[in-house]
Amino acid sequence: MYTITTRQLAKTYSNGKEALKPLSLSLNTGEVFGFLGPNGAGKTTTVKLLTGVLIPSGGCCEIMGINPSTQPEKAHSLSGIVTEHAQMYDNLTGMENLIFYACAFGLEKKAGKTRAEALLKELALTEAKDQKLATYSTGMRQRLSLARALLHCPKVLFLDEPTSGLDPESAQNVNLMIHNLACEQGVTVFLCTHQLRYAQQICTRYGLIEQGTLLASGTLKELQDQVFPYKSLRICASSVPENLNFQERGHCEFETQIHKKEEIPDLVRKIVESGGNIFSVNLIEPSLEDIYFSLTTGRKEDATL
Ligand SMILES: Nc1ncnc2c1ncn2[C@@H]1O[C@H](COP(=O)(O)OP(=O)(O)O)[C@@H](O)[C@H]1O
Ligand SMILES: [Mg+2]
């Protein structure tokens, strides 16, 4: 059974804005799905539909077999959500906020406190736990929001730009935590982000969206093959035979385009047989960034690298 499914899921807002055009996706348990796209692409709208905050105007979705628009309470008991702007109580401390939400999730006070302590420690907030939220930085709020989302040990985690306000070290910690939740506890993660490098470290699969339309989806390898059917092969050698169609890029540096890595041994053999000495061979695989900018209309300012 898939953990998250959408079938022709669509949303048009009351002002006529088609924020999400029919989207069909299926996520397996323990997947970290990176939902990537520029501002206004429809990512938050999708998360709101998946968490029952919005009602679809077309199609449907399910979280572990539950329809979030008809059974929101059940869907919420299975899901944790970190939204872009974490709203909690400024006049309560970090710990008080977590205890409040633990009660709202139905945890016993003692169990809620124990769970909150553990999460605060994991998210490096123990020192700040008795400070009022009003004194927290954006990054601290973001981490407290993640702690809140994890209080009831959800099976599915929706993260909308979870590392956006974080310094690189905190972002790296949050990233590692997300990875561990998926790998060790089988939590399915739906991650909306602009931060492509962090995404590439933890996501098992991606969906690239722009103007409400899913442009491509798949693993990095699948996207590389779909978007860049040719890859650059760079060889450092004393010489290469002319008939191999390499272009000279510098002193002893040659480059050609190949379709698949199986072509490399034959090229290497031909170079050696023609008397060339090979010093290095590098196949340049396109990164997630290369794929993203090739598919989206090149609006680099919208993405954080
Ligand atoms: N409540 C709303 N009413 C009308 N349009 C909206 C509303 N919320 C979002 N939009 C529009 O829908 C589009 C998708 O928005 P959103 O899902 O927030 O994108 P993203 O999270 O990818 O930046 C944008 O053009 C946005 O302006
Ligand atoms: Mg958004």
Q: Specify whether 22 is located in the same domain as 35.
A: yes
Look at residues 225, 241, 267 and tell me which one is the last residue of a structural domain: 225
Distance CA 138, CA 163 (A): 10
Could you tell me which residue, 86 or 9, shows the higher pLDDT?
Answer: 9
Residue 1: pLDDT over 80 = no
What is the mean pLDDT of the segment spanning 268-293? 94
Note the pLDDT of residue 304: 47
| Full domain range(s) for residue 251 | 229-285
Q: What is the pLDDT of residues 246-271, one digit of tens each?
A: 999 999 999 999 998 899 999 999 99
b/e 8-19 (16+ beta carbons within 10 angstroms → b): ebbbeeeeeeeb
Whether residue 217 is found in the same domain as residue 267: no
Residues 139 and 248 occupy one common structural domain: no
Shared domain for 146 and 211, answered yes or no, is: yes
Asked whether residue 214 is assigned to any structural domain, the reply reads yes
Which tens digits make up the pLDDT trace of 145-174? 999 999 999 999 999 988 887 888 888 888
Confidence at residue 157, expressed as pLDDT on a 0 to 100 scale: 97
Nearest CA to ligand 1 atom 1: 13
Query: What is the number of residues in the chain?
Result: 305
Across the range 59-63, mean pLDDT stands at 97
In a domain, 184, yes or no: yes
One domain for residues 118 and 251: no
Split at pLDDT 50, 70, 90, the class of 284 is very high
Q: Supply the pTM of this predicted model.
A: 0.88
Domain identity same for 179 and 280: no
Residue where one domain finishes, among candidates 225, 253, 276: 225
Q: 54 CB less than 6 Å from ligand 1?
A: no
> Are residue 220 and residue 233 in the same domain, yes or no?
no
Query: Based on the structure, what is the number of domains in the chain?
Result: 2
Nearest CA to ligand 1 atom 24: 40
- Amino acid identity for residue 50 in this structure: L
Amino acid at 97: N
Ligand 1 pocket check for 43: Cβ under 6 Å: yes
Whether residue 128 sits in one domain with residue 13 = yes
Does residue 294 lie within any of the structural domains? Answer: no
> What is the predicted pLDDT for the residue at 298?
54
Q: What is the pLDDT of residue 85?
A: 78
Looking at ligand 1, which atom is closest to the CA of residue 47? 17
Q: Which ligand is nearest to the CA of 43?
A: 1
The pLDDT of residue 305: 45
d(CA 147, CA 121): 10
Q: Whose Cα sits closest to atom 16 in ligand 1?
A: 42
CA of 44 to the centre of ligand 2 (A): 4
Closest C-alpha among 166, 88, 98 to residue 126: 98
Find the CATH number of the domain harbouring 179: 3.40.50.300
Q: Give yes or no: residues 140 and 253 share one domain.
A: no
Which DSSP helix (H) or strand (E) runs through 225? Answer: helix 220-227
In terms of domains, do 65 and 126 share one?
A: yes
Structure tokens at 35: 């939902």
